[in-house]
Amino acid sequence: MANGIVMRIHRVRAEVVVAACDEELIGRALPVGSAGRTVQITSFFYGERAVSEEELLWALGKATSANLLGPRVLALAHAHGFVAEGGTGLLGGVPHAEIFTVTE
């Protein structure tokens, strides 16, 4: 895998949720807050199948929401207009963004 990105597409009724992260984050527990809590980064949610940049961009174009984690994934999403400048936060020190579409 050249780019180190994994992705899973979750379909729930009419919703298409794209979850993608940098491959090396799978299996890590990221600290959240100051109470010693962590969030586990799992292949169940983010997937384990390596995808190309083109496949991720195609999926983001079809998504009704997305959960993106990791510097490579966020750089790609930002470069292609899916995440605005300043539209990311940190999850356990790792760049993170969530994208939602709102329809009437």
Mean pLDDT of 78-103: 91
Question: 24-66: per-residue pLDDT in tens?
Answer: 999 999 998 878 899 999 999 999 999 999 999 999 999 999 9
**Residues 39, 48: contact at Cβ < 8 Å?**
no
Is the pLDDT reported for residue 74 higher than 60? Answer: yes
Q: What is the pLDDT of residue 17?
A: 95
Q: For residue 1, name the pLDDT band (cuts at 50, 70, 90).
A: very low
Q: Which CATH number characterizes residue 55's domain?
A: 3.30.1860.10
Distances (CA, A) of 16 to 1, 62, 104: 25, 7, 17
- What's the domain count of the chain? 1
pTM (predicted TM-score): 0.91
Give the domain extent around 11: 5-100
